[in-house]
Amino acid sequence: MNDLVLEMLCNLHLDGTRQGPGSDADTRRALALSGLEKGRDLQIADIGCGTGASTLVLADALDANITAIDFVPQFLDKLDALAAERGFDHKISTCIASMDALPFENNTWDAIWSEGAIYNLGFEEGLGYWRQFLKPDGILAVSEITWLTADRPTELSEHWLSEYPGIGTAGEKLSVLENAGFTPLGYFPLQSGAWLDTYYRPLQRRFPAFLARYLHSDLAEELIRAEEHEISLYERYQRHVSYGFYIAKRSD
Ligand code: SAH
């Protein structure tokens, strides 16, 4: 992705409360399955945090020091401001880094959280790389695009296989987790509101301002067409695809 496209996508997403499908209720549900509890002084990394919707839920629910990592500084500036506003600045610190070159010691984290972001590395590659940073028995909680049905309409399959060849069913993802040295603790698909109410609808409302800002350039129009296409596929085929939330424990 070139710098201009990255800058444009950052501007398109900066004003969203989430930069991908997800919801506070789903974050809390994953937290309940993780067994992480208030009252322990936990060290948590939230990788690919965006503007930190999940980070803020974790800070609210736990007595944790949370390091929120992203490679887009503007997202982290916004999270810093939100954390201060919500009185969580003592629990949340931000770190600009790439998720494939993390500046951490091995065995650092009680939990690694990552919503809608591990696909940037690939599910298997991400698990394999991040595992070393977890303490033994550390918790991994990641959401990842997932097929909900064994048979899919061709139009939907072709789109996602070309966007993300690693897409798979929950069974396939759970096997990948086990083979990478994790014991699965739970899985659930996100509710449909986590796509439409908290992500796609607010995103669509920002399209006119985005196009105006970039003077309806060909590139801006093309980016919005691609987003609209993805949204239309979701609207028509949501029975077949969602994000799955996978909660697991490092198994050694
Ligand atoms: N977890 C947030 C954001 C999901 S969007 C949420 O659920 O709302 C994916 C995030 O990953 C974006 O914030 C993007 O900037 C970040 N990202 C993409 N590639 C990255 C990389 N190589 N290193 C660090 N962050 C990355």
| Parallel, antiparallel or unpaired: strands 241-250 and 134-147 | antiparallel
The reported pLDDT for the residue numbered 180 is 97
User: Among the atoms of ligand 1, which is closest to the Cα of residue 16?
Assistant: 8
Rounded to the nearest whole angstrom, what is the distance from the C-alpha of residue 87 to the centroid of ligand 1?
24
Residue 112, strand partner residues: 45, 140
**C-alpha closest to that of 45 among 8, 10, 92:** 92
Q: What is the pLDDT of residues 177-223, one digit of tens each?
A: 999 999 999 999 998 899 999 999 999 999 999 999 999 999 999 99
User: With a 6 A CB cut-off, is 203 part of the ligand 1 pocket?
Assistant: no
Indicate whether residue 126 lines ligand 1 (CB < 6 A): no
What is the architecture of the domain spanning 21-191+239-250?
Answer: 3-Layer(aba) Sandwich (3.40)
The predicted-structure confidence for 143-161, as pLDDT tens digits, reads as follows 999 999 999 999 999 999 9
CA of residue 72 to ligand 1 center, whole Å: 8
Query: CA of 60: how far to CAs of 5, 15, 33, 63, 204, in Å?
Result: 34, 21, 17, 8, 29
Could you tell me if the CB of 99 is within 6 A of ligand 1?
yes
What is the CA(49)–ligand 1 centre distance, in A? 6
Q: How far is the CA of 247 from the centre of ligand 1 (A)?
A: 19
d(CA 124, CA 140): 13
Provide the pairing of β-strand 134-147 with 168-169.
parallel
Question: Which residue puts its alpha carbon closest to atom 11 of ligand 1?
Answer: 48
How is the chain split into domains, by residue range?
21-191+239-250
Taking the C-alpha atoms of residue 162 and residue 169, their distance in angstroms, rounded to an integer, is 16
**pTM metric for this prediction:** 0.97
Q: Quick: pLDDT tens for 62-90.
A: 999 999 999 999 999 999 999 999 999 99
**What is the atom index within ligand 1 of the atom nearest the CA of 72?**
15
What pLDDT, on the 0 to 100 scale, is given for residue 252? 79
Q: What is the pLDDT of residue 221?
A: 98
Q: How far is the CA of 138 from the centre of ligand 1 (A)?
A: 22
Pairing mode, strands 134-147 and 109-114: parallel
Instruction: Give 248 Cα–ligand 1 centroid separation in angstroms.
Output: 21
Q: Which residue has its alpha carbon closest to ligand 1 atom 13?
A: 50
Strand partners, 67: 45, 93
What's the CA angle centered on 128, arms 126 and 133, to 5 degrees? 90
Distance (Å) from CA 47 to ligand 1 centroid: 7
CA distance 102 to 79: 19
* Residue 144 · residue 119 · CB < 8 Å: yes
Which ligand 1 atom sits closest to the C-alpha of 100? Answer: 22
Q: Alpha-carbon distance 56 to 59, whole Å?
A: 5
- CA 37, distance to chain mean position in Å, is 21
